A and B are shown apart, each in its own frame.
Chain A
Amino acid sequence: MNASALRRYTPFAASSLQSLLQYRSTFLINALTATTAVGVQVFLWRAVYGGRPGGLPGGYDLPRLTTYVLLAQVLGLMQASRVDEEVSGEVQRGDIAVSLLRPVSYPLARFAAGLPVSLTNATLVAVPVVALYALLLPLTAPTWGGMLLFAVSAALSLVIGFGVNLLVGLAGFVTTNIWGVRVVKDSVVAFFAGQVVPLALMPGPLAAVARVLPFQGMVDGPLRLLLGRYDGAAGAAVILTAQLGWAAALCALAALAWRGAVRRVEVLGG
């Protein structure tokens, strides 16, 4: 796709950001939610550590684990781009009809509209929350190399998150109880992504399952790269390749689902 075709999508990003800024209280609420969630988890882990003076398996000491838990919330926030909600809402209200009248690819327009949500959450919510905990608790300072790998990996995790959310949103074509699907998705994805517990600390079979699912590339992968929990360059390459593969596979799957869904659009009335 050339640059001029891509330019058609910038207004979707710009308008999404504009709409977003009209509901400023959302950021405050997101910040409070994230702060609380991090707080609860950090103190839970501190209690666990209190009973295990030898530290946890997987090379996670307390500052490292605190960093993990904190940044896991940040990644979770970034991936909550509301794409699932918006897509299923449009399908159910029938507004999808109007979206189909625009000469653009609907999934790409949705991605463009979701990007500012992710990025504003990352800056307006994540930065203050991370700063707050950096003052309160000991954290592990990442290396420059780790941060670079993390940046690439976090970008890929956004694409994976988008693919998952778009697929869930498209479920609106099949069921009207999209709320239930989303609740299940939220908890399943959060768990297998490693947002609650790093994969290295999961019981063996569970970790094995998590490793073959796409979700580990959303939180566990980027944070292993940031915290140096991999075996040399080859280990880092494996994490990134897996992410890339899943990102491509999910996008292809979502594109396929979209093509199937659009053929069965039935907007009655209106």
Chain B
Amino acid sequence: MIVAENLVKEFRVAERGPGLIGSLSTLFSREHRLVRAVSGVSFEIPAGTKAAYIGANGAGKSTTVKMLTGIMTPTSGRALVAGLEPYRERRRNAANIGVVFGQRSQLWWDLPVPDSFRILRRVHEIPDAVYRRNMALFQELLDLDALGNTPVRQLSLGQRMRAEVAASLVHDPKVVFLDEPTVGLDLVLKEAVRRLVNHVNAELGTTVLLTSHDMGDITAICDRVLVVNHGEVVHRGTMHELLRTADTRAVVFEHHGGPDEAISLIGKGLEGASARLVDGGRIRVEYPVARWTSRQVMGFLLDHFDVTDCVAPEPDLEMVLRRIYAGRVAA
């Protein structure tokens, strides 16, 4: 559904020195520096997938999304969204996609929210049945009626974001791009937005591309992950595969016996692993995957302790990402 082939975007940025002198000197000489925001990104997202596009700030996420939505033309390379090159066939592409930019409003600033929806209905020529079905869904999940007849410019960020997410989905797009869709939302509304996105994906097969710094969004919505760093895709696969790239794992267990001697025993017996006491008297053992297999660690624990309870939590996504950003894992 979404294909990127060697997408490159370069910007010319005027160089200026610091301070007043620097600003003044640009009056006479202007030097440009070429900034490569996206350098040869390639990926493919099948129809009906909910993919997360993750990267640190400045990784080129937004720029890539702008090329996929037809706002920007790539310097080189090619993108296809639902079979169209977005920047070449912007208007036809716009009919296929829905977009939420967390920092920008697509609603009519001076008008109340219901008016924006009436306009979108006409602009996208949405059939009556579809419009009614979607408005009922938005009402049920996001309580749009509560926004009343206040002009958008007077709404709070949280109120506005609910309407933004709904507006991106009102025309049953084939693909929806969500750039920080839960910015400014409380936990209940975040949950509602995630439910809405999952619902349209399940019911209509809408392809989702999400960029977010909110790990909760990513884990609650996405089944596939693309991680970009310095403008390149450094990891692609399922969420599960990404988590498996973690280089340390953990086991948390409970046993009959004192914690202190257990911790020191683990320290001696499992070289490179670390053990510490966590809440409720349980012991958390973290071990490097390169040194120990899970089987070895479990075996060691069962051999040495009278284990009463044991859990092996999923590796933490945030930790995995931190390592990728720091360049320690090249997948």
- Complex CA–CA separation, A98 to B97 (angstroms): 12
Write out the residue numbers on chain A whose beta carbons fall within 8 Å of the beta carbon of B119.
11-12, 14-15
- Complex CA–CA separation, A14 to B108 (angstroms): 12
CB distance from B240 to the nearest CB of A (A): 32
Write out the residue numbers on chain A whose beta carbons fall within 8 Å of the beta carbon of B123.
8, 11-12, 102-104
Q: Are A266 and B72 in contact (CB under 8 A)?
A: yes
- Complex CA–CA separation, A8 to B126 (angstroms): 11
CB distance from A205 to the nearest CB of B (A): 36
| Residue in chain A with minimal CB distance to B62 | A270
Q: State whether A97 and B11 are in contact (beta carbons under 8 Å apart), knowing that A15-B108, A18-B115, A22-B151 are contacts in the complex.
A: no
| Residue in chain A with minimal CB distance to B11 | A266
- Complex CA–CA separation, A100 to B111 (angstroms): 20
Q: Are B122 and A11 in contact (CB under 8 A)?
A: yes
Q: Are A101 and B94 in contact (CB under 8 A)?
A: yes
Q: State whether A103 and B92 are in contact (beta carbons under 8 Å apart), knowing that A97-B104, A263-B73, A267-B66 are contacts in the complex.
A: yes
Q: Which of A70-113 contact B (CB under 8 A)?
A: 94-95, 97-98, 100-105
A33 within 8 A of B: no
Which of A7, A11, A265 makes the CB contact (< 8 A) with B118? A11
Contact digits for B19-58, partner A, Cβ 8 Å, 1 yes 0 no: 0000000000000000000000000000000000000000
Q: A-B pairs with CB below 8 Å: how many?
A: 78
B264 within 8 A of A: no
Write out the residue numbers on chain A whose beta carbons fall within 8 Å of the beta carbon of B122.
7-8, 10-11
Which of A102, A263, A265, A269 makes the CB contact (< 8 A) with B94? A102
- Complex CA–CA separation, A266 to B13 (angstroms): 11
CB distance from B289 to the nearest CB of A (A): 38
B316 within 8 A of A: no
Q: Which of B181-197 contact A (CB under 8 A)?
A: none
B295 within 8 A of A: no
Write out the residue numbers on chain B whose beta carbons fall within 8 Å of the beta carbon of A268.
11
Which of B101, B111, B151 makes the CB contact (< 8 A) with A98? B101
- Complex CA–CA separation, A12 to B87 (angstroms): 23
Write out the residue numbers on chain B whose beta carbons fall within 8 Å of the beta carbon of A102.
94, 123
Chain A interface (Cβ < 8 Å from any Cβ of B): 4, 7-8, 10-12, 14-15, 18-19, 22, 94-95, 97-98, 100-105, 262-270
8 closest residue pairs by CB, A with B: A19-B110, A103-B94, A11-B119, A103-B95, A270-B103, A11-B122, A98-B106, A100-B71
